[in-house]
Amino acid sequence: MKRFLSIAALLLAIAAGAGFWAMEEVKRSVLAPLTLEEPTHLTIRPGSNINSIFRQLEANGWVESNPWRQYARVLRPDLTAVKAGTFLVTPDMTVETALQHFISGREHQFSITLVEGDRFVDWLVQLQGRDDLLVETEGLSEADIAKKLGHEGDKLEGLLLPETYYFTQGDSDLTILKRAYDAMDELLDKAWSQKSDALMLKSPYEVLIMASIIEKETALASERGLVSSVFNNRLKRGMRLQTDPTVIYGMGDAYTGVITRSALRTPTAYNTYTIDGLPPTPIAMPSQASVLAAVNPEVSNYYYFVADTKGGHTFSTTLKQHNRAVRVYREWERSQK
């Protein structure tokens, strides 16, 4: 009996030692550092478990294969509740911290910046060129997209707010456009409620049209209110807006970088040298700053402006003053050539 007990005790000790050793091996396998050289995205598919993730890490060469790692699900059940998604994996992570990151569900936030002054077609090209977005707009007309966004009209020009939008892998381009549409709708409602009493614009949509013109006329924040005042003053007096960006928009693909005198005389719905009042739609995506300038033009007696020699504009009250400013700019322009 003593001999039996001794053997049993020895076996128990060996088993305990082996168990401790096995636990240490599992622990080491989970604490192993990842060996990637730069931050990289890892997509975890729905239905993945801890062992399939281990296989992904090993297949990518980020950690050496270790047969003990498969038992982590038993010894470390706290690491098993991984979530599907696309995550950013960084070189400072270990297998354990990577798993904790996947458990958190904090997917990597991709971003896209939709730039003010661009046209809707420009935004579509940008969105459809992203491989981290689900493209649902391809093959749809602008009217089709408008309907999906909940807009009753056929045109979306000017109706979407330029901004940097964040999203996760696989989000839809329509989702981004919907967020931009809702954001502009909210901004426009707020801006319209704070409009100047002297404003000549008759509706929020006219504000968007004016804001888009302001956006294309100046890139200087300090000038937006003055540009707005020029156009508001012209509308008040019944003068035509005579703004080149609307002519360019109306020319479409015929515009090659130069506005000819013939183009200025050719009637289109957007040629503000030949039509009275505003063009029928916005001509670009206006920024928040341009929308706010459109509803609250500065108080001025200006009716004209032309580019100056310093990247801004010279504003004038009379045509005589304006013509003088035009001559100054053209002389400077010739001297640069």
Q: Give domain limits for the chain.
A: 24-104, 110-188, 198-336
- 3-state SS class at 87: strand
Per-residue pLDDT of the chain (337 residues; tens, 9 = 90+): 555 544 544 444 444 444 444 678 888 888 899 999 999 999 999 999 999 999 999 999 999 988 888 888 888 889 899 999 999 999 999 999 999 999 999 999 999 999 999 999 999 999 999 999 999 999 999 999 999 999 999 999 999 999 999 999 989 999 999 999 999 999 999 999 999 999 999 999 999 999 999 999 999 999 999 999 999 999 999 999 999 999 999 998 889 888 888 889 999 999 999 999 999 999 999 999 999 999 999 999 999 999 998 889 999 999 999 999 999 989 988 888 7
Residue whose token pair is 């020319």:
251
Among the residues of the chain, which ranges form H helices? 2-31, 50-59, 72-75, 95-104, 120-128, 142-148, 173-193, 204-217, 224-237, 244-251, 261-265, 288-295, 319-336
Answer yes or no: are the C-beta atoms of 244 and 146 closer than 8 Å: no
pLDDT at 113: 97
